[in-house]
Structure 1
Amino acid sequence: MSNGAYNSIEHRATVNAMNERISFATFFNPKLQAKVGPAKSLLMNTGNQPIYKTLVMEQYLKEFFLNKLNGKTFLEKMKIEDEAHET
């Protein structure tokens, strides 16, 4: 979403020997028809070209779960390698 302007932080948790810790994984996704990619407002403010693809959420999920990464992260696979790309 940030087109590489912001890095995600590492998840950290503090262990407490006196109390149990319970974690719940939650996921929030846009509807399957929504476009996901670099935020247009960040691109306009900086004048940068997108370096990541924009996909419909359904296609993003398909590629995420079916893609053979061959040692790459999915984020690397989402990079636009061709200069002649569409947004």
Structure 2
Amino acid sequence: MSNGVYNSIEHRATVNTTKERISLAMFFNPELDADVGPAKSLLTNKGDPPLYKTLVMEQYLKDFFSRKLNGKTFLEKMKIRNDEES
């Protein structure tokens, strides 16, 4: 959604033998007919074209869970330039 403007950090956990660790998973799921892709507010400059595909959420989920990635991460598969290279 950030079109590459904001990068996620790698997530890791360290085991601590003296303290209990609690993890919370939080999910955000748009409606199945909602468009999922780069936020329009981050594409305001002509020099900032979308770097990733926009899909309907239902298709995004089907593609994500099909795992036909051929050695690529799903994020790499969503890049528009990958369509041109294929």
Residue in 1 that maps onto 2:76 = 76
RMSD, matched Cα: 1.9
Mapped partners of 2:62, 2:40: distance in 1 = 23
Mapped partners of 2:8, 2:52: distance in 1 = 16
Matched, 1:26 2:26: yes
Mapped partners of 1:62, 1:12: distance in 2 = 27
**Ranges in structure 1 where 5+ consecutive residues have no aligned partner:** none
Mapped partners of 1:79, 1:19: distance in 2 = 41
Q: How far is 1:80 from its partner?
A: 0.7
* TM-score (normalizing by structure 2): 0.80
Mapped partners of 2:42, 2:27: distance in 1 = 24
Residue in 2 that maps onto 1:40 = 40
Structure 1 residue ranges, 4+ long, deviating more than 6 angstroms after superposition: none
* TM-score (normalizing by structure 1): 0.79
**Ranges in structure 2 where 5+ consecutive residues have no aligned partner:** none
Residue in 2 that maps onto 1:58 = 58
Question: Aligned residue pairs: how many?
Answer: 82
C-alpha change, 1:67 and 1:12, in structure 2 (3 Å) is closer
Mapped partners of 2:28, 2:77: distance in 1 = 22
